Amino acid sequence: MYVLTAAQSEQAALEVEKLRHGLLTYALIEDGLKNGRADVNADGQIALNEWLDYTERAVPRMQLAVIENATEKGIHLSFEDTEQTGRGNVATRLQRPRVFAPRDLEEDPLIVTKVPSVPKSR
């Protein structure tokens, strides 16, 4: 069984209007599959574990880019929110997806897709 959460329990899963998706969906589909960036080992195919691992790393980077872009425009944007809970103050920081997956499939990985080849310029 594979489980992918969009964020940790104390975090919000964010939607970015400019992307027209949530950060998780954008990282999975647009960035990871359509742009082929989840092919981390550059073997021309994207295995399930490679795809999910890529997404875990990509979402916080994407959120930082959103913050930096806003800062360059003079907009103070923060995703930190401190709320009082039974455990004390909990600070919500960068969205961090979490994958719970068996690692025993590394020897015979499930291939999600082949990366489309980009035509070489002439």
Q: In the prediction, which pLDDT does 30 show?
A: 93
**H-helix segments, 15-120:** 23-25, 48-72
- Using the predicted structure, report yes or no on whether residue 84 has a pLDDT greater than 70: no
Rounded alpha-carbon distances, angstroms, from residue 64 to 2, 7, 79, 94, 121 = 27, 15, 10, 8, 33
**CA dist., res. 46 & res. 61, Å (int):** 20
- Using the predicted structure, report yes or no on whether residue 94 has a pLDDT greater than 70: yes
- Using the predicted structure, report yes or no on whether residue 44 has a pLDDT greater than 90: yes
Q: In the prediction, which pLDDT does 95 show?
A: 86
Report the mean per-residue pLDDT for the chain.
Answer: 79
Q: In the prediction, which pLDDT does 67 show?
A: 81
pTM for this model (two decimals): 0.74
pLDDT tens per residue, range 15-24 = 888 888 889 9
Residues in contact with 78: Cβ distance below 8 Å, sequence separation at least 6, in sequence order: 67
